[in-house]
Amino acid sequence: MSNITCIIVEDEPLAVKILSDYVSQVPFLDLKGIFKDAILATDYLRNHAVDLIFLDIHLPKLKGMAFLKTLVNPPEIIITTAYHQYAVEGFNLNVTDYLLKPIEFERFLVAVNKVKSAERDKPGTPALQETKDYLFLNVQKKKVKILFSDILYIESQKEYIKLVTTKGEHLSKMSTHEMETLLPAHLFKRIHRSFIVSKNKIDSYTIEEVEVNGVSIPIGRGYRDILTEL
């Protein structure tokens, strides 16, 4: 899938730092610019198209909602604000998501994955469709090719993940959330805060656990919607 280009429109330095750091952790996001007010962002958008705007509401010169109303063909919009009272107005303007500060990385990922799904589902954009059947994983200073069809499950191990395949195990320094963004959603499912499984490799399941290749993996209380898919 092609990268999603984005800009940040935000006047608070700390919020800019957090958002830009979050963007840098998501492989499919490509940050094109940071603007401290909507006027500067407007100038940029006259000559550049982007897929996504992270937009604060309380901006100098021109407020976020007023800026949003000036956009004739707006890209995907994720509102970032400390004020919940503008949520209804935001969704009436068809924003993709509404993030309340302080923004947690997990909540940020949920929002950008909505954008990823929307871009993938747009008609007439074949270049955005998933075509690769593999990924390259950083393992001890080298990149190892991993076929999606070989993956059994992924387990979180603090700042590392253990990726278990039919051919062996690999340890890589990344989070399960980062790994989840690299996997095709129709093949893999998070069933626990610490586990992602290949749906095709599930041998059996109960309401509390699934079995993959003889290994019992717990289903987290908040992830039991997996059962409806099975």
Share of the chain above pLDDT 90, in %: 55
Cα–chain center distance at 1:
13
Lowest-confidence pick of 97-111, 120-134, 187-201: 120-134
Integer Cα distance of 152 and 155 in angstroms: 10
User: pLDDT band at residue 123, thresholds of 50, 70 and 90?
Assistant: low
Beta strands in the chain (DSSP E): 4-9, 29-35, 52-55, 76-81, 97-100, 134-139, 142-147, 151-157, 160-165, 168-172, 188-192, 195-198, 202-205, 209-212, 215-218
Provide the pLDDT for residue 127: 43
pLDDT at 128 over 90: no
Confidence (pTM): 0.55
Based on its alpha-carbon atoms, the radius of gyration of the chain, rounded to whole angstroms, reads: 20
- Name the residue among 50, 88, 106 with its Cα closest to residue 98: 88
Determine contact, residues 90/53, Cβ cutoff 8 Å.
Answer: no
| b/e sequence 179-200, b meaning 16+ C-beta within 10 Å | bbbbbeeeebbbbbebbbbbee
Quick one: tokens of 196? 């992602």
What is the distance of C-alpha 86 from the center of its chain? 23
Q: Phi and psi (nearest 5°) for 108?
A: -60, -45
User: At 183, which helix (H) or strand (E)?
Assistant: none
| CA pair distance 87, 93, nearest whole angstrom | 10
Compute the distance between CA of residue 89 and CA of residue 80 in angstroms, rounded to an integer.
14
Q: Which domains does the chain have, with CATH numbers?
A: 4-128 (3.40.50.2300), 134-229 (2.40.50.1020)
Q: What is residue 126's predicted lDDT score, i.e. its pLDDT?
A: 45
Residue 228's pLDDT is what?
66
Tally Cβ neighbours within 10 Å of residue 24. 10
pLDDT tens track for 29-87: 999 999 999 999 999 998 899 999 999 999 998 999 999 988 888 899 999 988 877 77
